[in-house]
Each structure stands twice: as C-alpha cells, then as structure tokens.
Amino acid sequence: MQKDYAEMRGAILRELDGLRYDVDAGRNIGWLTLDRPPLNVISYRGRSQISAILEAFGQDPDVRVVVIRGANGVYSSGGDVKAFPDIERDGMSHMAWNIAAPERCPKPVICAMEKYAMGVGFELAMSCDIRVATADTVLALPEVSLGQIPGSGGRASSCRRRG
C-alpha cells in the first residue's frame, strides 16, 4: 500500500487550530499569532502546526525574522490539557519536538509575551532566540504544582541551540 506523504504533510496546515500566520515581505517579518480567545490556549493539533509554520518560515526568502505573539493582548495561558485524554496512544511523544521548532529555525525567532506565558506557551517562548515580556507578564509552569514535569520542553531541552 502506497501512502501519500505529501498529502499527509499538507493536511497539517489545513484548518489552523487557534493560529494565524502572515508574512510582511516589505519588512521581512514572519508573524505567528496564537489566536484562541480568551487566553490563547494551544491545542494538541496546534503544536504540530506551529512546528510546520516555523519550518516554512525558515525556508521562505521573504522572512528574515519571525515574531511569535498572542492575539488580544494575551500571549498564552498554556495548553489544552482537558483534551489530553482524547490524544491517541503514544501521541504525545513528539510534543517537545514540535514546541522546540523555534530552536531549529534558521531565522531569529522573537517571542512577545503579554499578560500570561504559562505551560506550553512559556515552553515555546523558552525555545525562541529572544523573549520580550511586559512588566505584568506572568511566567509559569503550573504543571509542576501537580507533580508533573513540563512535557513540552520546559525541562532541559532535547534540542540544543545551534552554535
């Protein structure tokens, strides 16, 4: 049986789940916006989409820098943990890889954090080259208070920065 890997890869970016992206070719900026009101929770599917978008930005000659931000004055309150029981068996093994996508991007990646940078949102920010926060931004890995390790890269990263 032959599989259509191109179709499978392309399907990742169809129907973005709480994300928007844009390229300002005049200023050479790739914008990735977390946009799931009210607190821009990052879904399981969104993690794969973040990785695919950053990979595409890395290959786009019109993008010289990437900025990740949240919509409506909020960066991200974290991941959609209520949906975790619905994820297929062994489906979480690549979450850290997807959230470490900024580390692998050949372009500088800046994270603009407003209001909340929690859980997977904070882990995504930690994998960026530059992080900018407002004076009232709350940084947190709340899963540690539940006795869990940060599963998307908040512990020692599995991907090291390029030299």
The pTM (predicted TM-score) of the whole model is 0.85
Task: Give the count of beta carbons closer than 10 Å to the beta carbon of residue 28.
Answer: 14
Percent helix, strand, coil in the chain, to 5, is 30, 20, 45
Indicate which CATH number applies to the domain containing 79. 3.90.226.10
CB 49 within 8 A of CB 105: no
Structural domain contains residue 3: no
Strand order in the sheet with 19-24: 19-24, 29-34, 65-70, 109-113, 130-133
CB 50 within 8 A of CB 35: no
- Predicted confidence at residue 28, as pLDDT, reads 98
Q: For the chain, what is the domain count?
A: 1
- C-alpha 102/C-alpha 111 separation (Å) is 10
Residue of 7, 88, 103, 123 with catalytic role: 123
**Residue 123 designated active-site:** yes
Structural domain contains residue 18: yes
pLDDT digits (tens, 9 = 90+) for 3-23: 788 888 888 888 999 999 999
- Predicted confidence at residue 93, as pLDDT, reads 59
Neighbouring residues of 14: CB distance < 8 A, sequence distance ≥ 6: none
Structural domain contains residue 127: yes
For 142, the domain range is 13-146
Residue of 7, 103, 114, 143 with catalytic role: 143
pLDDT digits (tens, 9 = 90+) for 25-41: 999 999 999 999 999 99
Q: What is the residue type of 159?
A: C
Q: What are the phi and psi torsion angles at 68 (to 5°)?
A: -105, 130
